[in-house]
């Protein structure tokens, strides 16, 4: 029901003071939940809690490796395989039972494995584009257009060989899987299942100009009546039909009681 772990980075996100809750790595929590066991983190600076585990390294080194040389890994494996039955026939010094008999009872107490193994993958959230493509690691992967909408967040689970796309919410059937693609090599690739584009606008409903409509010939204006763009705009404006009176600026000076504008030279001579 419980497995004791050392404070390794794959299990503990960061170190905390003694007595505080240890923040666990999300991937380690998912792994423990998949196989239905609890994680017990070893206390800091307490090697006694894992002494029996590390003792096995010394036992193998003293009984299998010391004083011997091997020409290949196969030869080393054969030596270890020949030593294991001798070790399992001994009486353990802690629980005072034959190691093979205690191992058989421990194995019988273990829970059965789940039908599917735990998928170790890199997990990230990405937005879906208008073309139902999701960008990941410099490449584009398609998702079904009928199951997503533009700018929707989806979860990318990437292994060494696959890129699996999941929705953040399950559908009516309880499934979150959207698509599964082989992982592209390099950058700039488009991994697309063309059936995923079923449901995207095709542009067939847009109004387009075809050759069936006759094109009206352009009427030429008599020479001298050509107008530029600005003049044509002024001619269409309603303000052009209003007559505006023209007055000298002195009229406005008299109305406002201000002196008429004079140059700097005239002012100097009058003084």
Dist CA 155 CA 127 (whole Å): 9
What tokens appear for 194 in the block?
A: 């063309």
Q: Using DSSP, state whether 164 is helix, strand or coil.
A: strand
Pick from 12-26, 172-186, 196-210 the range whose average pLDDT is largest. 172-186
How big is the chain, counted in residues?
271
Q: Using DSSP, state whether 121 is helix, strand or coil.
A: coil
Strand partners, 41: 5
Dist CA 119 CA 159 (whole Å): 8
pLDDT of 226 > 70? The answer is no
Helix axes 99-109, 73-88, angle to 10 degrees: 90
Tell me what pLDDT residue 184 has: 94
Lowest mean pLDDT among 134-143, 173-182, 223-232, 259-268: 259-268
Pairing verdict, β 153-158 and 122-127: antiparallel
pLDDT of 89 > 70? The answer is yes
Tens digit of pLDDT for each residue in 91-132?
Answer: 998 889 999 999 999 999 998 999 998 888 888 999 999 999
pLDDT of 208 > 60? The answer is no
Tokens 């792994």 sit on residue = 31
Q: Say if CB 88 and CB 118 are below 8 A apart.
A: no
Query: Given pLDDT bands bounded at 50, 70 and 90, which one contains residue 215?
Result: low
Q: Say if CB 43 and CB 18 are below 8 A apart.
A: yes
> Average per-residue pLDDT in the chain?
83
Tens digit of pLDDT for each residue in 152-200?
Answer: 999 999 988 999 999 998 888 888 999 999 999 999 999 999 999 887 8
Dist CA 38 CA 13 (whole Å): 16
Residue 99 CB contacts under 8 Å (≥ 6 apart), including other chains: 87, 88, 89, 90, 91, 92
| Closest residue by Cα to residue 92 from 66, 55, 65, 48 | 55
**Measured CA distances, 216 to 213, 219 (Å):** 9, 9
pLDDT of 271 > 90? The answer is no
Strand boundaries in 90-138, DSSP class E: 122-127, 133-136
Tell me what pLDDT residue 136 has: 95
Dist CA 156 CA 165 (whole Å): 5
> Can you say how many angstroms the Cα of residue 213 is from the centroid of all Cα atoms in its chain?
50
pLDDT of 85 > 90? The answer is yes
Strand partners, 123: 157
Residue 102 CB contacts under 8 Å (≥ 6 apart), including other chains: 92, 95
């Amino acid at each position: 029901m419980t497995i004791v772990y050392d404070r390794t980075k794959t299990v503990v996100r960061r170190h905390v003071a003694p007595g505080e809750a240890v923040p666990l790595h999300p991937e380690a929590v998912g792994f423990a939940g998949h196989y239905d066991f609890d994680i017990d983190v070893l206390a800091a600076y307490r090697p006694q809690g894992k002494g029996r585990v590390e003792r096995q390294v010394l036992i193998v080194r003293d009984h299998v490796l010391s004083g011997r040389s091997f020409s290949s890994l196969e030869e080393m494996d054969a030596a270890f395989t020949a030593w294991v039955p001798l070790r399992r026939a001994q009486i353990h010094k802690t629980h005072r039972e034959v190691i093979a008999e205690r191992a058989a009872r421990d194995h019988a107490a273990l829970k059965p494995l789940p039908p599917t193994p735990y998928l170790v993958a890199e997990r990230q959230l990405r937005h879906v584009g208008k073309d139902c493509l999701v960008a990941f690691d410099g490449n584009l992967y398609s998702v079904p257009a009928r199951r997503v909408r533009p700018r929707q967040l989806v979860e990318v689970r990437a292994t060494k060989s696959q890129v699996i796309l999941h929705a953040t919410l399950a559908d009516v059937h309880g499934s979150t899987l959207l698509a599964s693609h082989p992982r592209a090599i390099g950058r700039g690739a488009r991994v697309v299942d063309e059936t995923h584009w079923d449901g995207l606008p095709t542009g067939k409903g847009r109004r387009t100009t075809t050759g069936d409509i006759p094109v009206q010939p352009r009427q030429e204006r008599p020479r001298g009546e050509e107008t530029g763009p600005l003049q044509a705009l002024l001619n269409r404006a309603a303000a052009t039909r209003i007559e505006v009176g023209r007055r000298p600026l002195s009229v406005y000076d008299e109305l406002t009681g201000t002196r008429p504008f004079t140059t700097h030279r005239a002012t100097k001579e009058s003084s």
